[in-house]
Structure 1
Amino acid sequence: MDRRSFLTKTALGGAAAAGASALAAPAYAQGKRTLTMVTTWGRGLAGVHDAAQRVADSITAMTDGELTIELKAAGELVGAFEVFDAVTAGQADMYHAADYYFVGQHPAYAFFTSVPFGMTAQELMNWYHHAGGMQLHDELGEIFGLKSFLAGNTGAQAGGWFNKEITSPDDFKGLKFRMPGLGGKALGKLGASVQNLPGGEVYQALASGAIDGTEWIGPWADEKAGFQEITKIYYTAGFHEPGAGLSLATNRDVFDSLSPAHQKVIEIASAETHQWNLAQFLANNGTALQRLASSGVKVLEFPDSVWDAMGDASAEVHAENLGDEFYAKVFDSYSTSMVSSSDWITKSESAYRAQRDRVLG
């Protein structure tokens, strides 16, 4: 039995499966078609919900309403972390999410969001569009009956909010910290009690003391979430997500049933959303950080000893997954592209920016 058949028959089970079959066929009306998009984002979450809404609205507009995307935020049809199974099983037509939430389905999904000590946003797009990344995303999606595209990017994410300063790797021991993906697994190796919570649940968990700290995205989204109301200790550079991609994934049977023109619209709308969303975060983060600092937030960087420990832990996590043939294939492609991209960017843009900052003071 192939993976798609297995998921269709078993993922939701019983009454839920009955509901899935009722929703499996997209709605039609007078030659028009409505697809249901579920997301991992609470409605209104800064940046990430914006990306989901942007790609949904763009597809609808670019097809002149022939293909209408109906967005359901987390909890409106299924829970935040249930969107993958909902789409593979046909309960919804597409999802918008960070694919590293689904490393339980396959650890290689992490590469299409971010991995610790991985690619920046620009390096990710170099790999994705010109060094085989998109093809690998498609190959992975095919296992689960999905057609996936990158459709958003947060840029480099912050190290996060803490209830105490982090002066050495030992400070992570016993710390209850929210961090998804392979970064969370690496942090666990430093002794942290790692939690994987949907974005809409993080504020309450931090406020109640259920967690001692959290990463979310960066200054603008974090300020919107209100974490500065709870703690004033903020680390601005993190090891875990140096350029986090977001994904739009469509049930593959649904995608294959679309016209070539509508399929291309989904691809182009996703790529446009990626660039628009990355610019949205980067345009807002600087002024948001200034507001946070002026309100009493203590802006810090991790010491080298912490970075070194995070690097060792991240290497362990990768090593544990390299026994999986497909993970190893993606890892090799990703690593080769990252080294190549970084070499030129370091010699060109990074060198220029250092000189620009020196000359302009």
Structure 2
Amino acid sequence: MSRAPISRRALVGAGLAASGSLLSTSTLAQPAVAKGLVEWRMVTSWPKNLPGPGLSAERLAQAIGRLSDGRLQVKVFAAGELVPALECFDAVAGGTAEMAHTASLYWAGKLPAAPLYTTAPFGLTPLEHLTWVDQAGGQGLWDRLYAPFGIKPFMAGNTGFSMAGWYRRELRGLDDLKGLKIRIVGLGGEVMRRLGATPVALPAGEVFPAMQSGIVDAAELLAPYSDLAVGLHRVTKLYYGPGFNKPNGTGEALVSLKAYDALPADLKAIVATACRDEHTTALATAEWNNAVSLATLKETHGVQVKSMPADVLAAGARIAEGLLSEIAAKDALSAEIITSYRTARARTGQWMRVTQGTFLAARDA
């Protein structure tokens, strides 16, 4: 049960009382909980400090500790340190951790509509996605989707628009996808399967060795900032875009509702504020570092940036739209989420075509 907000006078009084007992050995021996401190565990789906999402997890934990003056401390566990990379949802739902930093696209088998909260093929761009969740009803539907598992979701990071991935051989058209093994996750993996490829779901930390050893013929991870750090350019120089399969990269913070509801109101607000701030910080960081890293890949490492063949994009768009309809048919809540997502895409898309689309074409000319 939530407690009432603590008044400033009560906080000052508590601080004076605490300062007067600093030399008491009995007080020093008390556990952190007895002193009003809270300690959470955060599991992640990322290798430690992976540029992009790994750094988001670390910044988020640090921000919560800083904004709470140390009253809520979050210890970060990288993928595999406490639970495997793809078991973060279950870890929070089951009480192994109070918090996780991960991506909703991993939960398609559990919740068919969940991947949309990271991205959908030919779906919302980063700004459109933020608009949907924050202003157009997306957050309320997300809360309802995760509530049966005792989880409260927050946007908490964004890797920006993705690339379509690294390929060992050049793509000339749809026929070149047939039988191709590609590391890809989320709804984009199902689109690639229907295009003739063989999707292989691997956590981020296993992508480079799989590509290097030939387990996969191609790999889609994120965008230049993360991809450069992982070193995929050491395996192949063919880098394809646009990332039609993942035009957005929202990272999610999963918070145990039990742990969240036990917090006083001010700490709840701090968790929410820290997540929101990290989303903004991460997206700005991604946009700049993706631009810088792409230049480095091309100019220093000789990477060739290629465009996905037109027939692949056209076929992929048709398949993606059908896939959304299939998800909508799964259950009533999935149908609500798909309808909300499509409505947001149509409305923001009209505005972007009138403004950004026309403007960028004129600016480039």
- Given the two structures, how large is their TM-score scaled by the length of structure 1? 0.90
Distance, in Å, in 2 between the alignment partners of 1:170 and 1:30 is 65
Superposed, 1:133-148 pairs within 5 Å as 133-148=138-153
Residue 29 of structure 1, CA deviation:
5.1
Contact 2:167 2:238 (8 Å CA) reproduced: yes
Residue in 2 that maps onto 1:113: 118
Residue 223 (structure 2) pairs with residue 218 (structure 1):
yes
Residue 311 of structure 1, CA deviation:
1.2
Q: Name the aligned partner's letter for residue 136 of structure 1.
A: L
Q: Runs of 4 or more off by more than 3 Å in structure 1?
A: none
Residue 257 (structure 2) pairs with residue 239 (structure 1):
no
Q: Which of 188, 192, 203 is the aligned partner of 1:187?
A: 192
Residue 227 of structure 1, CA deviation:
0.3
SS of the equivalent of 2:76 reads: strand
Distance, in Å, in 2 between the alignment partners of 1:50 and 1:287 is 17
Residue 165 (structure 2) pairs with residue 154 (structure 1):
no
Q: Which of 78, 88, 92 is the aligned partner of 1:87?
A: 92
Distance, in Å, in 1 between the alignment partners of 2:172 and 2:264 is 56
Distance, in Å, in 2 between the alignment partners of 1:309 and 1:82 is 33
Q: Percent identity?
A: 37
Q: Name the aligned partner's letter for residue 40 of structure 2.
A: L
Residue in 2 that maps onto 1:60: 65
Distance, in Å, in 1 between the alignment partners of 2:32 and 2:151 is 19
Between stretches 125-134 and 309-318, larger displacement belongs to 309-318
- Given the two structures, how large is their TM-score scaled by the length of structure 2? 0.89
Residue in 1 that maps onto 2:346: 339
Residue in 1 that maps onto 2:295: 290
Q: Which of 347, 350, 357 is the aligned partner of 1:350?
A: 357
Distance, in Å, in 2 between the alignment partners of 1:119 and 1:133 is 12
Contact 1:27 1:35 (8 Å CA) reproduced: no
Q: Which of 43, 46, 53 is the aligned partner of 1:41?
A: 46
Q: What are structure 1's unaligned runs of at least 5 residues?
A: 1-25
Distance, in Å, in 2 between the alignment partners of 1:282 and 1:138 is 28
Distance, in Å, in 1 between the alignment partners of 2:151 and 2:223 is 29
Q: Name the aligned partner's letter for residue 347 of structure 2.
A: S
> Which structure is larger by alpha-carbon Rg, 1 or 2?
2
Distance, in Å, in 1 between the alignment partners of 2:121 and 2:288 is 24
Residue 195 of structure 1, CA deviation:
0.8
Contact 2:44 2:78 (8 Å CA) reproduced: yes
Residue in 1 that maps onto 2:263: 258
Residue in 2 that maps onto 1:72: 77
Residue 287 of structure 1, CA deviation:
2.1
Superposed CA offset, 1:26-58 (max 9, x none)? 972521010000000010211110111111111
Q: What are structure 2's unaligned runs of at least 5 residues?
A: 1-30
Q: Name the aligned partner's letter for residue 343 of structure 1.
A: Q
Q: Name the aligned partner's letter for residue 304 of structure 1.
A: A
Superposed CA offset, 1:308-354 (max 9, x none)? 11112212322322212211110100110111111112212332222
Superposed, 1:156-175 pairs within 5 Å as 156-175=161-180
Residue in 2 that maps onto 1:310: 316
Residue in 1 that maps onto 2:9: none
Distance, in Å, in 2 between the alignment partners of 1:139 and 1:313 is 27
Residue in 1 that maps onto 2:181: 176
Distance, in Å, in 1 between the alignment partners of 2:310 and 2:220 is 19
Contact 1:187 1:313 (8 Å CA) reproduced: no
Describe the shift of the 1:165–1:29 C-alpha distance in structure 2 as closer, same or farther (beyond 3 A): farther
Distance, in Å, in 2 between the alignment partners of 1:309 and 1:342 is 20
The alignment covers a number of residue pairs equal to: 333
SS of the equivalent of 2:65 reads: helix
Distance, in Å, in 1 between the alignment partners of 2:282 and 2:100 is 17
Q: Which of 277, 282, 299 is the aligned partner of 1:272?
A: 277
Distance, in Å, in 1 between the alignment partners of 2:85 and 2:181 is 21
Distance, in Å, in 2 between the alignment partners of 1:89 and 1:181 is 23
Distance, in Å, in 2 between the alignment partners of 1:321 and 1:243 is 19
Distance, in Å, in 1 between the alignment partners of 2:66 and 2:34 is 17
Distance, in Å, in 2 between the alignment partners of 1:68 and 1:309 is 48
Describe the shift of the 1:351–1:169 C-alpha distance in structure 2 as closer, same or farther (beyond 3 A): same
Between stretches 306-315 and 119-128, larger displacement belongs to 306-315
Distance, in Å, in 1 between the alignment partners of 2:131 and 2:321 is 23
SS of the equivalent of 1:117 reads: coil
Q: What is the root-mean-square deviation in Å for CA atoms of aligned residues?
A: 1.3
